[in-house]
Amino acid sequence: MNHITASFSDPVHSAQQSFRTLLTAIAEPGTIHGLDQGMQFAPLGASLTAATLTLCDNTTSVYLSHALNQESVRANLVFHCGCTLVAEPYLADFALLTLAEFTNMREFKIGDEAQPQLNCTFFVQVDTFGQGTHLHLQGPGIQTTRQLAIAKLTDAQVAMLQVNHQQFPLGYDTFFFSKTQVCALARSTQVDKEAVCTSQ
């Protein structure tokens, strides 16, 4: 019981602001937005906490990866969001993972051709943006091209994002959260390593 921390101080406006930020992030893939409502359920960062409080409720089920599956997170999510915590990946509507655990998307539900929106959405906690391999993004919401760098994103994870794009309209949408920032990659976003696209 003592793991529970206070939620948004101004529930309505904080949730609306967070929702607007998340909507903009997924509408313009690869852009980085500040998201910090001044509270967090450690080990979740402030931005990931705000997103979870905004999007998860009693109609969604949430999967917590091994590193994030701690009593402080579980107690707060159940108390403040009222969401169902699931242990099986294929039941989850939202999956909260650390970047190192973002290795196998296919364990999670992807929806079907008739209802491609019934996929699981990933919330991946990362260290920081702007470092590491530069990704080259194209697709809806991007005028020409856009660059994004996520620290410690591995080649295998880039390949996984590329496979994800190829199965469009099926696929997964992914939000990346640093401590106070958020950035999203939609399933419609084509991801290349910079070396590939500069070679023309």
Partner 1 sequence: MNTEDRQAWLSTLAHSQPQQLAQYWQQLNLTTEYEVLRQPESGLAQVRGRMGGSGNAFNIGDATMTRAVIRLPSGEMGVGYVLGRDHDHCLRIALLDALLQTQHHDNIQQAVIKPLASARQTNLAQARARTQATKVDFFTLVRGESE
Pairwise CA distance, residues 69 & 176, whole Å: 18
In the list 14, 30, 80, 183, the residue contacting partner 1 (rule: CB under 8 A) is 80
Give me the torsion for CA of 45, 71, 86, 93, rounded to 10°: -20
Q: How far is the CB of 63 from partner 1 (least distance, A)?
A: 25
Pairwise CA distance, residues 93 & 65, whole Å: 13
Residues 20-79 that bind partner 1 (CB under 8 A): 79
SS (H, E, C) 135-195: EEEECCCCCCCEEEEECCCCHHHHHHHHHHHHCCCCCCEEEEECCCEEEEECCCCEEEEHH
Return the number of the residue (37 or 164) whose C-beta is nearest partner 1: 37
Return the number of the residue (5 or 70) whose C-beta is nearest partner 1: 5
Return the number of the residue (7 or 145) whose C-beta is nearest partner 1: 7
Query: Of the ranges 4-12, 81-89, 114-122, 137-145, which one interacts with partner 1 (CB under 8 A)?
Result: 4-12
Pairwise CA distance, residues 58 & 85, whole Å: 10
Pairwise CA distance, residues 183 & 177, whole Å: 7
How many chain residues interact with partner 1 (CB under 8 A)?
9
Q: How far is the CB of 82 from partner 1 (least distance, A)?
A: 11
Return the number of the residue (80 or 187) whose C-beta is nearest partner 1: 80
Return the number of the residue (75 or 100) whose C-beta is nearest partner 1: 75
| 7 forms part of the interface with partner 1 (CB under 8 A) | yes
Phi, psi of 121 (to 5 degrees): -105, 135
Which residues bind to partner 1, rule: CB under 8 A?
1-2, 4-7, 11, 79-80
